[in-house]
């Protein structure tokens, strides 16, 4: 099946238009980018670009035989329609957020991800449905501006569907929060990988964690297939992936989440808020940054990431400069100095080669919430040995010594585990002492 060809375009009020990210997004959606066009001017109400620039765009589409035009701006329905009228028949016009939703739709594999994509699509469509109905009523012309027949019930249908999806996502979020609480009770620390898409989070996850996904009944996770390793593509992972990771003395659950993207509107971020809960409720956040990018690009992404995380996140944040294999030491040191205010004491790693990953594991252990230290005395019984085994599974045992009648266990564990261990120890039945034993 031939790949659709796309021309990418962008308008800016001032400065230079950067088409790198929109081109990557288009490729992630499956397009072959065959042309680029930019303009610096204030927005035109009818065409977004100036009309002369739209004529130039149409000529570029004909010359490259493009199937679509992707505009790296948010456009109104009338602007989209007007540009389309200038293009050859059958050429699609997508703005930035339509393209992002298209990519999300292709990547959505789970029920939760599919619901979030549909919710975002409906929130995107709602103001357009309202505008279409309002203008058609005002002008008494169904299909005003070529936008199609309006249906007075469509607006309410969208609102009803948004309400139903939001309720279902809330139920899913409640179940996920219950699972997080159960995992903490079992002694796991929760660590989230956050950052921009294409920063290498999924590659780093594979480097840090075991092959088993804790939510997949010990099935080999699909992103471990060799064809998916180190795939240089935006949104390779849309939903969250959680795996067990051993940092040394503590076991953590490491979650990779959907990557941030520049200039996302509130309605789109809101649609994926339950995915970001994995970050907001973590004990530690690893903010992964592509260190091979220019310093100013890194700075902008760090600022946006911190703004996104500061809304509800209370966990400590450790900045991880990934893709160190693409840089020499002087270049890395220059980035550290330039970004020290936003990224104090970053860990430098390469998810691809494994460089610095052991240092990252040690840093994770230092940054996680402190464990409590406890010393328990238990009788030497089968029931007590079961408790000792449970402590080994859920904490870090420093010393275990046996006497004739009791065992002493000294260990560290999260407060919830220490509390549960005390409760289990208190429930252990002590052997009764027969006062007449040995007196006969």
State the DSSP code for 212: B
Tokens, residue 422 = 């005390």
Q: What is the DSSP letter of 434?
A: -
Q: How far apart are CA 165 and CA 388, in angstroms?
A: 46
Task: Give the Cα-Cα-Cα angle 315, 279, 263 (nearest 5 degrees).
Answer: 115
Report the C-alpha gap between 391 and 305 in whole angstroms.
Answer: 38
Binding site listing for Mg(2+): 202, 237
8 in helix, strand or coil?
strand
User: How many other C-beta atoms are found inside a 10 Å radius of the C-beta of residue 56?
Assistant: 15
DSSP 293: S
Q: Which residues carry a binding-site annotation for GTP?
A: 195-202, 256-259, 322-325, 350-352
DSSP annotation of 237 reads -
Are 346 and 321 contacting, i.e. CB atoms less than 8 angstroms apart? yes
Distance (Å, whole) CA 119 – CA 313: 24
DSSP states of 241-283 as a string? Answer: EEEEEE-SSSEEEEEE-PPB-TT--HHHHHHTHHHHHHHHT-S
Q: Which residues are annotated as a binding site?
A: 195-202, 237, 256-259, 322-325, 350-352
């Amino acid at each position: 099946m031939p790949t659709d060809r796309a021309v990418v375009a962008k308008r800016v009020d001032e400065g230079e238009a950067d088409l790198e990210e929109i081109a990557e997004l288009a490729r992630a959606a499956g397009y072959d980018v065959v042309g680029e066009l930019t303009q610096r001017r204030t927005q035109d109400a009818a065409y977004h670009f100036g009309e002369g620039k739209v004529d130039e765009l149409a000529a570029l589409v004909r010359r490259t035989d493009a199937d679509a035009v992707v505009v790296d701006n948010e456009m109104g329905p009338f602007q989209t329609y007007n540009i389309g009228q200038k293009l050859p028949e059958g050429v699609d016009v997508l703005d930035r957020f339509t393209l992002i939703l298209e990519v999300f739709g292709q990547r959505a594999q789970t029920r939760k991800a599919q619901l979030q994509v549909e919710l975002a699509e409906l929130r995107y469509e709602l103001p357009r449905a309202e505008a279409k109905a309002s203008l058609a009523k005002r002008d008494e012309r169904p299909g005003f501006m070529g936008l199609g027949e309006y249906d007075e019930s469509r607006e309410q249908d969208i609102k009803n569907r948004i309400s139903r999806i939001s309720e279902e996502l809330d139920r899913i979020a409640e179940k996920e929060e219950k699972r997080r609480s159960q995992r903490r009770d079992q002694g796991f620390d929760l660590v989230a990988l956050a950052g921009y898409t294409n920063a290498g989070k999924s590659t780093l996850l594979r480097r840090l964690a075991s092959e088993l996904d804790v939510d997949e009944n010990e099935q080999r996770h699909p992103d471990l297939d060799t064809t998916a390793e180190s795939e240089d593509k935006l949104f390779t992972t849309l939903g969250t992936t959680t795996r067990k990771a051993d940092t040394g003395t503590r076991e953590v659950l490491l979650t990779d989440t959907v990557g941030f993207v520049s200039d996302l509107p509130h309605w789109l971020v809101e649609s994926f808020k339950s995915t970001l809960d994995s970050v907001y409720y973590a004990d530690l956040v690893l903010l992964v940054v592509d260190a091979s990018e220019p310093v100013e690009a890194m700075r902008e992404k760090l600022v946006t990431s911190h703004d996104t995380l500061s809304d509800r996140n209370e966990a400590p944040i450790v900045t991880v400069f990934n893709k160190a294999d693409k840089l020499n030491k002087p270049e890395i040191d220059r980035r550290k100095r330039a970004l020290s205010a936003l990224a104090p004491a970053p860990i430098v790693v390469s998810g691809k080669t494994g460089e610095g990953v052991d240092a990252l594991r040690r840093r994770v252990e230092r940054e996680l919430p402190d464990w409590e230290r406890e010393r328990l005395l238990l009788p030497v019984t089968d029931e007590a040995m079961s408790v000792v085994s449970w402590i080994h599974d859920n904490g870090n045992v420093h010393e275990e010594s046996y006497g004739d009648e009791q065992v002493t266990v000294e260990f560290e564990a999260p407060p919830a585990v220490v509390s549960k261990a005390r409760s289990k120890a208190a429930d252990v039945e002590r052997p009764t002492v027969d006062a007449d034993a040995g007196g006969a």
